[in-house]
A and B are shown apart, each in its own frame.
Chain A
Amino acid sequence: MKTQSKIALKFLLVMIILTGIIYPLLMTGLAQLGYPSKANGSLIMNDGKIIGSELIGQKFDSSIYFWSRPSAIGYNPIPSGGSNLGPTSDTLKKQVGARRVLFAKINSMTDPLSIPKEMVFASGSGLDPHISPEAALLQVDHISRARHFENSQKEKLLNKIKELTETPQFFCLGEQRINVLILNLELNKI
């Protein structure tokens, strides 16, 4: 017993040094050398100011921007999380109903049930940076109106969506998607 306790204490100490200090420090060092931008949060700078991270979604509810997904935390990352509302939740039913009506109205859609699902349901992280390309295309008309775009500019925007659409990785992994923050940054340049 006594020998085992002594070993246990010393062994714990060794493991703390090895896996709790050396391992994360070594990994941080290698990550900072190999992928400095990604390891530090894929931050996006604009005029010397940080405007966000490519990976962390932002709230977009103005008519001059593409909307991001609904978020249970209002895109405030401290702390992240979803609504955790269940499949028979009355609250969720009302939320989804209201989002359908609003999205359909703003984008002049007649059938609210045909809205891409991610636009009426909140994400798990509350920080989902993506929407589907379909959801982006549906919003082009009202954004062009709000920004008083000419036809050539609208055409540019449609091309931008096509260009920024990410296809499944290695042809098969994941879903087609488009990064809302990057799309809106490009939108500002048109």
Chain B
Amino acid sequence: MNEAIQLILFLVLLAVLSPLLGKYMAKVFMGEKHIMIPVFGWLEKLVYRISGVKSEEEMNWKIYMYGVLLFNLFGFVFLYLLQIFQAYLPLNTEKLPNVSWHLAFNTAMSFTTNTNWQSYSGENTLSYLVQMLGLTVQNFVSAATGIAVVLALMRGLTRKTTDALGNFWADMTRSVLYVLLPLAIILTLALVGQGAVQTFSHYVKATTLQGTEQVIPLGPAASQIAIKQLGTNGGGFFGANSAHPFENPTPFSNFLELFAIIIISAGLVFTFGHYMKSKRQARAIFITMFILFALGLAISLWAEYGHNNVLNVSGSMEGKETRFGVMNSVLWSVTTTVTSNGSVNAMHDSLSPLSGLVAMFNLMLGEIIFGGVGSGLYGIIIFILLTVFIAGLMVGRTPEYLGKKVEAYEMKMTILAILAPAIVIKLFSAIACSIPAGISGLNNAGPHGLSEILYAFSSAAGNNGSAFGGLNTNTVFYNLMLGFGMLIGRFGIIIPVMAIAGSMAKKKVTPVSSGTFRTDNWLFVMLLISVILIVGGLTFFPPLALGPIVEHFLMNLGVTF
């Protein structure tokens, strides 16, 4: 009963608040007046002045993309250097050594691509300085990059016969100042009020009631947790991520963080509606995402509350926290995997096989069910183009989206964006399964071992960052493979998306007629869901059958490994 109320509260708030946030963001990015201008307007101008940005100058897709790539490259280099030299830098209260080159590579890639995969545990690896200057900064700007790219795509789809897609630097600045920063400030203070830590003190030594020594790690955690959730980053301040009582102390902090994970991605769908000047179009996308989300959630809840014949328990508490219970752990596992967040409040490795499957399948679909901030929306637009194209083939008509013809060039780019992450997942997993360097990291044997590897590369390619945490990935092999997987999973999509934005912007708009294939009704929603599930299903069914599905049946027989 209690569980049902929490669940419904979450879903209702999501449906009610995301259009409001979407409207606000539309005002911000379309340059209209909004409530934050009196607060941060001066700061926006200051940022432009210092960095030499002419915010009114619009860019074509190539210049916009150069901006994206250069900025991310510099961010990567800075974060890499910060880690390999942390021992020589200030604010290293615990005298932590320099990070190894391969771990630094992995972590830098991870945070610049908005993946936030963690091959390390923050409390014994990274100094406060790296957490702040490196990770917190990337939490903001990698999320802003996602928003900027989707804004360029929105403009490309809704403007006609133009090259202009907006100004990348202005979009970045507005994302950070008017969307991410204000929400992060509010969330930080709310989390500290619940008990999340925010301090620069040394770790504390305590003598426990039973007389042993316990070192309690501290740090400026709350400010980073707030943005890691809002920006669908997900990298924890502490190793246990949002299961850690200092990151997520109470059920209320859990609810707030859960909501923060999904709200901006959901809101952006409605922002797109304002660009399209059609609430119906936006609603169709939102409903598609909502249905896929609810389907996964239902299966996952059913599986997790089901009986485990091996452990003789229904609703296992392994890897779960008492204050959250089973329902909140499952809700989080689905929410964090449909969005490309990847923070966890329960250990996914210990979930029942089919709950693990739902989480993994969400990653494999390419993070398009709400998805990452910005990246989720451009991901599902890729699938919309594919659906429009397939529908066009079926009825023998030139496919159109928002009145623009979808032609060979756009389809090539679409297929590229869909294939890039799929290749990483299957090829890299296959390599890892075939060589000792891949196998030696396993924590579980049998089909669950395959799931651990498959999950890791799905997480990297989907830029999610959650893990079947048993797999030890802090090795040269995994750090490099996952690092490149994240790179391909991010820019293997961003580059084709920018190309599509550029080519669509140049096109004319054909007015709506009775012959137009509509993309704002239930028929289209169903078609889109089918294409997403069929493409995802066909691509990944074989490995899933060998991993979680066979494990589910073996578990029912009581087989152990």
Contact = CB atoms under 8 A, between A and B. Distances in A.
Interface in A24-77: 24, 26-28, 30-32, 34-35, 38-43, 49-62, 65, 69, 75-77
Interface in B1-38: 2, 5-6, 9
Contact of B172 (A11, A75, A81, A120): A11
A1 B249 CA distance: 47
B169 A19 contact: no
Interface of A: 1, 3-16, 18-21, 23-24, 26-28, 30-32, 34-35, 38-43, 49-62, 65, 69, 75-90, 92-93, 96, 113, 117-118, 120-132, 168-170, 172-175, 177, 181, 184-185, 188
Given A30-B189, A60-B209, A169-B252, A19 B140 contact: yes
A69 B108 CA distance: 36
Contact of A10 (B51, B172, B249): B51
Interface in B320-360: 320-325, 328-329, 344-347, 349-353
Contact of B51 (A11, A96, A127, A131): A11
A78 B52 CA distance: 44
Interface of B: 2, 5-6, 9, 43, 47, 50-53, 63, 66-67, 70-71, 74-75, 78, 121-124, 132-134, 136-137, 139-141, 169, 172, 176, 181, 184-185, 188-189, 192-201, 203-210, 212, 214-218, 220, 222-224, 227, 238-240, 243-246, 249-252, 254-255, 308, 310-313, 315-325, 328-329, 344-347, 349-353, 443-444, 446-448, 451, 468-470, 551, 554-555, 559-561
Contacts of B216: 41, 43, 52-53, 56, 77
B298 to A, nearest CB: 19
A78 B240 contact: no
Contacts of A83: 318-319, 347, 350
Contacts of B318: 82-83, 85, 92, 96, 121-122
Given A6-B52, A75-B214, A121-B317, A27 B199 contact: no
Given A21-B132, A76-B214, A81-B469, 11 more contacts: A4-B70, A7-B169, A14-B51, A41-B199, A86-B451, A86-B468, A88-B310, A88-B555, A121-B317, A125-B244, A174-B323
B70 A8 contact: yes
A39 B199 contact: yes
A124 B141 contact: no
Contact of B218 (A14, A27, A40, A124): A40
A86 B214 contact: no
B67 A7 contact: yes
A8 B239 contact: no
A28 to B, nearest CB: 5
Contact of B240 (A42, A69, A81): A81
B133 A16 contact: yes
Contacts of A122: 318-319
Contacts of B196: 38
Given A87-B551, A89-B561, A184-B209, A79 B352 contact: no
Given A58-B210, A84-B319, A32 B349 contact: no
B470 A31 contact: no
A185 B559 CA distance: 43
Contacts of B222: 27, 31, 39
Contact of A173 (B198, B251, B312, B468): B251
Contacts of A56: 214, 216, 245-246
Contacts of B347: 81-84, 124
B130 to A, nearest CB: 10
Contacts of B141: 12, 15, 19
11 contacts: A12-B141, A77-B217, A79-B239, A86-B451, A88-B554, A90-B560, A93-B560, A122-B319, A127-B244, A174-B254, A177-B322
B238 A79 contact: yes
Contacts of A80: 121, 123, 238-240, 243-244
B249 to A, nearest CB: 5
B551 A175 contact: no
B172 A87 contact: no
Contacts of B206: 43, 50-53
Given A21-B133, A177-B322, A117 B223 contact: no
A30 B226 CA distance: 15
A78 B121 CA distance: 9
B83 to A, nearest CB: 14
Contacts of A123: 243, 317, 319-322
Given A52-B214, A83-B318, A85-B443, A124 B240 contact: yes
